[in-house]
Amino acid sequence: MKKLEQMYEGKAKKVFRTDDPERFIVEYKDDATAFNGQKKGTILGKGAINNRMTNMLMQVLEKQGVPTHFVEELSERETVVKKVTIVPLEVIVRNISAGSFAQRYGVEEGIVFDEPTIEFSYKNDDLGDPLMNQYHALALKLATKEEIDTIKSMALKVNAVLKEFFLGVGIKLVDFKLEFGRTTDGTVILADEISPDTCRLWDKETNEKLDKDRFRRDLGNVEGAYQEVMRRLMGE
């Protein structure tokens, strides 16, 4: 497959067109941002880790019946994915209070929920990705009712599979963000990435943070945390 011109550059990835109209190539960068791009930095080796980790987890999810955009890992940082148009919703699933949830409701981090929660943000950098309920998403025609139902049930399935999977390597899946896309025939599939950039991951015994909060909150040893997750997941 031939990598053609760049179509899009996001904060952590670039997307390229290919000679196959149904396939894109994504390339993961070491660039890191937080707080809607106000904080900028580099996490050395992050692109390679996020690429390999996302691909591994997407393959686990496919086996469990969750359709994903993953096609083939091309190199350390590059992956062939199915061409989709991204549904402009960030879908956040939480198992334990942290981050904006803890802030918004004035509660401590670390409260374990009886049931996972789902929330949506409108994927719109100019507006700072505002929180949005499903009626607002419908009103703005960001997705249909059926798509929203599919997205919610897929998000809960992803949570059930990944929570168990991470626990097996001594990690609590606190919360995470997913993005979904529509293929050419309109099927909704899981897209984007699943990595320490987009998940909160805490050590099961010590609650040590093994994710991008180390960068967001200047906790130090950012690279070490990404490498530790990789080591536990892939044995290296």
17 binds ligand ASP (CB under 6 A): no
Q: Pick from 17, 29, 204, 216: which binds ligand ASP (CB under 6 A)?
A: 216
116 binds ligand TMP (CB under 6 A): no
Contact string (CB under 6 A) for ligand ASP, positions 167-206, x = contact:
----------------------------------------
Match 């990690």 to its residue by tokens.
171
Q: Taking the complex as a whole, how short is the minimal distance between the CB of residue 118 and ligand TMP, in angstroms? A: 12
Query: Two tokens at 88?
Result: 């402009």
Contact string (CB under 6 A) for ligand TMP, positions 21-50, x = contact:
------------------------------
Are 56 and 50 contacting, i.e. CB atoms less than 8 angstroms apart?
no
Q: Pick from 34, 56, 74, 86: which binds ligand ASP (CB under 6 A)?
A: 34
Query: Two tokens at 153?
Result: 């049930």
Q: What share of the chain is helix, strand, coil (3-state, %, to 5)?
A: 30, 35, 35
Match 């580099």 to its residue by tokens.
42
Cβ-closest position to ligand TMP: 99
Match 């999977």 to its residue by tokens.
165
Report the alpha-carbon distance of residue 128 to residue 224 in Å, rounded. Answer: 29
Contact positions vs ligand ASP (CB under 6 A): 11, 33-37, 212, 216
